[in-house]
């Protein structure tokens, strides 16, 4: 079985992005800038934000984190987003979720200018994905596609099964696989006999958040398995797939950790660079 090594591919992508940033610096250009906003003290969010901060520093972006107290009022947060939208040094704005209770997530996300929405969650970017137009794509499914591409795994003509239909992973994942000419089936919590469908998959993407949901008997011999799930258990971080049991059967599979997770952050950097390029072009 081939291990789809997201950690290694993400490191390669960061090196490529760093080289491009070095070129910009050498030419005396403005550096790409990402601003992350985090509200409150959610411990998982603090870890995610630190990882993003570290990745930005590694590639040489001019980045900042705005840390706001739990008690931040909706209007103040919207005001900060408006200021960042207007700031020419800021190419990407990321609002770390979840927001504390009392703040309206949708209202805040939609306020981020679509061309700075490096998370790809803005309805305009989602609409562009649906219509097959260029736009900023959600980082996790875009990271999965990039990982498949770099391992020369083609999607055209394959049956791809996506388990999970969330707005941030499952739905955009299905659309991206469709865009890559796969035949796509989406399963979710109301799907009866999940195994009967997952067994038909040439490419199986699990994005649910349930350890060992995908067992050995639910996967076809030779399938490519992408495990998006991140579950904290007593045994440490695990995905949605029973990794040891699937190993003899799958042709290729992502580990957890070290699979899709690092690719998500690499795609955030790639999206920021894409936004930077668009902003640089449109300014001339
Ligand atoms: P979510 O809770 O929003 O969505 C879960 C989906 O799973 C839902 O669409 C639901 O219908 C489906 N589901 C629930 N029970 C099911 C069942 N028994 N059978 C089939 N489908 C079922 O979660 P999400 O935000 O999409 O995240 C999914 C998982 O991916 C989580 O573990 C999350 O931590 C992880 N995640 C990882 C990354 C990464 O970078 N690796 C990024 C985002 C999310």
CB distance 261 to ligand 1 below 6 Å: yes
**DSSP line for 96-142:** -SSPPTTS-HHHHHHHS-GGG-TT--SHHHHHHHHHT---PPPHHHH
> Domain 139-261 is in which class?
alpha beta
Q: Nearest residue CA, atom 34 of ligand 1?
A: 230
Could you say which of 5, 91, 117, 119 is catalytic?
Answer: 119
If one residue of 168, 228, 231, 232 were mutated to test the ligand 1 pocket, choosing by the most ligand atoms within 8 A of its CB, it would be 228
How confident is the prediction along the chain (284 residues), in pLDDT tens digits per residue? 999 999 999 999 999 999 999 999 999 999 999 999 999 999 999 999 999 999 999 999 999 999 999 999 999 999 999 999 999 999 999 999 999 999 999 999 999 999 999 999 999 999 999 999 999 999 999 999 999 999 999 999 999 999 999 999 999 999 999 999 999 999 999 999 999 999 999 999 999 999 999 999 999 999 999 999 999 999 899 999 999 999 999 999 999 999 999 999 999 999 999 999 999 986 54
Q: How many CA atoms lie within 13 A of 49 on its CB side?
A: 24
Question: Catalytic: 83?
Answer: no
Question: Catalytic: 52?
Answer: yes
Q: Where are the domains of the chain?
A: 30-114, 139-261
139-261 and 30-114 share a CATH fold: yes
Question: Catalytic: 96?
Answer: yes
Is 30-114 assigned to CATH 3.40.50.10860? Answer: yes
Q: Nearest residue CA, atom 31 of ligand 1?
A: 209
Report yes or no: 142 and 134 within 8 Å, Cβ to Cβ.
no
């Amino acid at each position: 079985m081939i291990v789809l090594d997201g950690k290694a591919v993400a490191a390669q992508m960061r090196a490529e992005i760093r080289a491009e940033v070095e070129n910009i610096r050498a030419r005396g250009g403005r550096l790409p800038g990402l601003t992350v906003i985090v509200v409150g003290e959610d411990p998982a969010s603090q870890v995610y934000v630190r990882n993003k901060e570290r990745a930005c520093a590694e590639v040489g972006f001019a980045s900042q984190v705005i840390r706001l107290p739990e008690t931040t009022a909706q209007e103040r947060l919207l005001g900060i987003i408006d200021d960042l939208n207007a700031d020419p040094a800021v190419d990407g704005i990321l609002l770390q979720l979840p927001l504390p209770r009392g703040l309206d997530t949708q209202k805040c996300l939609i306020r981020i200018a679509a061309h700075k929405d490096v998370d790809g969650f803005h309805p305009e970017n989602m609409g562009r994905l649906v219509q097959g137009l260029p736009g900023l794509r959600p980082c996790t499914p875009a990271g999965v596609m990039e990982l498949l591409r770099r391992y020369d795994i083609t999607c055209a003509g394959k049956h791809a099964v996506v388990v999970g239909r969330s707005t941030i992973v499952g739905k955009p994942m299905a659309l991206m696989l469709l865009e890559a000419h796969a035949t796509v089936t989406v399963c979710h919590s109301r799907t009866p006999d999940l195994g009967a469908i997952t067994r038909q998959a040439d490419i199986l993407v699990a994005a649910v958040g349930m350890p060992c949901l995908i067992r050995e008997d639910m996967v076809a011999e030779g399938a490519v398995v992408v495990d998006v799930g991140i579950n904290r258990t007593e045994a440490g971080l695990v995905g949605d797939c029973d990794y040891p049991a699937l190993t003899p059967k799958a042709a290729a599979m992502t580990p957890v950790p070290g699979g899709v997770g690092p690719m998500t952050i690499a795609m955030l950097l790639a999206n920021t660079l894409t936004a930077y390029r668009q902003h640089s072009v449109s300014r001339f």
